[in-house]
Amino acid sequence: MSNEHRSATKPANNKPFMLGYTVTPIGYGQKSVWSKIAAAWAHKDGEGYEVRMDALPVDGRLVLRTVKDDQQPDNEVVEPSMDGPA
């Protein structure tokens, strides 16, 4: 297990380890729109992730990207629920 992965298992202010996006091409494939639809938190044991999704991608493709320490928040509250979806 790498050091980067170990640090991902330590929660810091409920900040997700990864964000999920659906990517939609515009025009003739030169540009794309990335829409944030999910967040993922590492399990405490480092063996998996909890993923919470606000939508499902139409094409079935979900792109997960790690959250950088210097990445600015979007003024939105994103945290896992301990009792499941509302």
**Higher model confidence: residue 21 or residue 84?**
21
Q: Which domain holds residue 52?
A: 3-66
In the predicted structure, residue 8 carries a pLDDT above the cut 50 = no
In a domain, 18, yes or no: yes
Total structural domains in the chain? 1
pLDDT for the residue numbered 77: 44
* Residue 83 in domain: no
Q: Does residue 17 form part of some domain?
A: yes
* 71 domain residue, yes or no: no
> pLDDT value at position 74?
57
Phi first, then psi, for residue 8 (nearest 5°) are -70, -20
- Per-residue confidence (pLDDT) for residue 28, from 0 to 100: 84
Residue 32 lies in a domain: yes
Give the predicted TM-score (pTM) of the model. 0.65
